[in-house]
Amino acid sequence: MKGTMIVLGEIGGHEAAALVEDGKLQDLLIDGDQPRPGTIYRALADRPVKGQGGMFLKTPDGAGFIRKIKGLGAGKPLLVQVTGYAEQGKAIPMTDRWLYKSRFAIATPGAPGINISRSIREDEDRIMLREISSAFEDRLRGCGLILRSQAAGTNEDEISQDIERVLGAVHAVLEDDGKTSEKLIEGPGPSELAWRDWPAAEHADIPFEELLTDALEDGVSLPGGGHVYVEATRALVAVDVNTGRDTSQAAGLKANLAVARDLPRLLRIKGLGGQIVIDTAPLAKIDRPAIGAALRAAFRKDTVETTLVGWTPLGHFELQRKRDRVSILEISL
């Protein structure tokens, strides 16, 4: 199974999308029961949480939480967007600095200006995109516009239609004058996210069961006979690296480097986020910088916001990762 393919279907009755490269699962998106990240609400301020510097909000889908108090009084309506999935028993994380993203364009209300993705380097592409976006300057009205990397080399009419749709959706929200809590825009599901964020690829009709080995199993084999176990607990995600039968002097370094390079993929396909602790295979302190550099290089290419915190006194490596997707562990297969 060579090449890049997108598989759409269901897992356990939930809409799902998978990105496969050369037969290996690279990304997995599953729809859940919570409000989707990207959903836009007109919410009502409820009560402040001064110790955390935030405010609880009322929405049609339950309590939300925003890290803002200044200028908010009880019952005041405000436009907010879901930023991720809530931990069990906690309020939905939200922000009032919302945006609307499509395949080619992102609209940024309250942040005016036209920008083009820095990853687009060809002068011809940048000139073309600047000309297309300048035609919409009169319609921005205090809203910014970002042209995404996918716009490079795309038909001009497709880009214009996408910008038109994005601005239409944003201004419909901004011009809304309702006073009650209401869902204004539903966040994107797996199929829309695949279209929006993944590279153009063929669609394949493959049963999901054939793709989920790494996603469902705690243990994954490493080159050289080692294993990595990625297990979610209530408090954190534990990553345990083992060298297996390899007893050579370099076994620990090789296993840890292999995990560092593959960890973003494993976390994506399992849908795991929050606090992540890596218990490395036996490793000399002199080799820690090499592992840190490998982790930074791997997560630099990842699409999920991740903060590399660093080494602990016990020799573990800690990360903090955004909860932007449903974990496959939460789905009944």
Q: What is the CATH number of the domain that holds 248?
A: 3.40.630
Are residues 250 and 317 both part of a single domain? yes
Burial class (CB in 10 A: 0-12, 13-18, 19+), 281: buried
pLDDT at residue number 330: 83
pLDDT at 333 over 80: no
Q: Are residues 155 and 182 in the same domain?
A: yes
Asked if 221 and 321 sit in the same domain, the reply is yes
DSSP assigned state of 65: E
pTM of the entire structure?
A: 0.91
Q: Give the CATH number for residue 86.
A: 2.40.50
4 and 54 both lie in a single domain:
no
The reply to whether 217 and 322 lie within a common domain is yes
Average per-residue pLDDT in the chain? 92
* pLDDT of 1 higher than 70: no
Distance CA 49, CA 270 (A): 32
CA distance 70 to 326: 32
Across residues 129-153, what is the average pLDDT? 93
Q: Are 290 and 224 in a shared domain?
A: yes
Domain that holds residue 56: 40-95
Q: Angle between the 123-134 and 156-174 helix axes, to the nearest 10 degrees?
A: 40
Using DSSP, state whether 291 is helix, strand or coil.
helix
| Rounded Cα distance, 154 and 172, in Å | 27
Identify each DSSP E strand in 103-225 by its residue range. 105-109, 113-116, 143-147, 182-185, 202-203, 219-221
Q: Does the structure show a pLDDT above 70 at 283?
A: yes
Q: Is 15 helix (H, G, I), strand (E, B) or coil?
A: strand
Same domain, yes or no, for 272 and 316?
A: yes
Domain final position from 76, 95, 114: 95
Number of domains, the chain:
4
Last residue of a domain, one of 66, 95, 124: 95
- The three-point CA angle 56-95-238 to 5° equals 90
Q: What is the pLDDT of residue 310?
A: 96
Residues 27, 84: one domain?
no
Q: What is the pLDDT of residue 84?
A: 95
Q: What is the CATH number of the domain that holds 135?
A: 3.30.230
219 and 322 together in one domain: yes
Which secondary structure element, helix H or strand E, spans residue 259, and what is its range? helix 251-270
| Residue 224 and residue 325 share a domain | yes
Range with the poorest average pLDDT among 56-65, 154-163, 196-205, 311-320: 196-205
Minimal CA–CA distance to 92: which of 72, 69, 67? 67
The reply to whether 219 and 252 lie within a common domain is: yes
